[in-house]
Structure 1
Amino acid sequence: MYQTVGHEGISYIAKATELPLHIQYIKGKPLHLDIDYEMKVGDEVEDLYSLLKSVKAKENIEGVSCGAIWSEYQKNRLEHVCERLDLEPICYLWGSDQSQLLSEMLGTPDFDIILVKVACIGLNLSDLGQNLKVLEPKLRLNHQKFGINLCGEGGEYETFVTRCKMSNFYKHDIVIVKSRKLSIGINGQANDSSLAPVGYLKMDELKLE
């Protein structure tokens, strides 16, 4: 249900947007794995319910935004939680044409988006930290050759937004001062596969400009 790569930058997104940040540790596990969710004690979705219930009591919120494009698994869980809390789920990208969406995001000077995780054929550790605008031709070629999802919706890659001037959303840019490229292994063994290496960018030091 949740993406953890890049979490060390979340507090900087809060500072860049000058919005309040509410954090809760995930204690549950993915117990109910069907596409349609049913409430189950101890499931990780109940941590989201608990957090949003707390936020609703503290902040004047009416809805929750979700960046899902095709993932019914995540969308259904958010909708389930929102219905229980009388909140509106805002899935503004749902069903978008992903080729067009990628072009829109990368065709504006308002965004800088970097790659923080790779997990598919055609991408490798050298791509980590690269701007998606630079990688767009490679993504489109890999989509044609191997059928990877252009927007990474299947987990092919994960991103982090360092600059977002659209509607002055980020009041500051986020700068990565120090980072490391780490390989993710299976059962504790490093994954050095040149075909489809899996790795992520650990952002050790960030600052605002």
Structure 2
Amino acid sequence: MLDYYARRAPEYERIYAKPERQADLAWLKARVRELTRGARVLDLACGTGYWTAEMAQAGSIIGADFNDTVLRIARGKGLAAASFVRADNDALPFAPGAFDVMTAGGWWSHVPRQDLRMHLARLHGVLGPGVRVLWFDNRYVPGSSTPIAHADDHGNTWQRRPLDDGSQHDVLKNFPDDRALLEAVDGIATDVRITRLQYYWTLEYLTN
């Protein structure tokens, strides 16, 4: 998947130009701006900095991603409050208490279902207690979403995605229902809230 997102980096933000998704995106941007205002923010899996750019009123922002290609694009946006670091999401180089808010757009769906609880445990260990977390990701909408190509024995679903260079890539993309989201954070989060838009979902909570 690292190679896929490196190749896709120049065309990545086209996904946000789909006309039918604009109302949902406006709602998400407003929520991101409200949540991050004045806060110390970790933007996990920040990619090209599309969502980081909505956090201009944050106190400080660190955008973390493992892909150097997308980070170069993010750094090129000249976001004054933001710094960008290359980091593995399972081994983040931060101390508990460094952030008030964590956002993660489009990352949950790329974590294998069988690894999700461990991933969240590691992440929460880095964040520490009392951090407001906002995950948001795609819902599967026939006719708008890339079709699911196949599923594996763990119930993970995969899409076959073409790029401008003619290559095709099988990409892990899960579409959890509310029960799966609640089970994933059971016992490790409080004040849990789920919102279902037409094309996106959000999961918001405080870390224990």
- Who wins on radius of gyration, i.e. which is larger? 1
Range of TM-score over shorter length: 0.3 to 0.5
In the superposition, the TM-score normalised over structure 1's length comes to 0.35
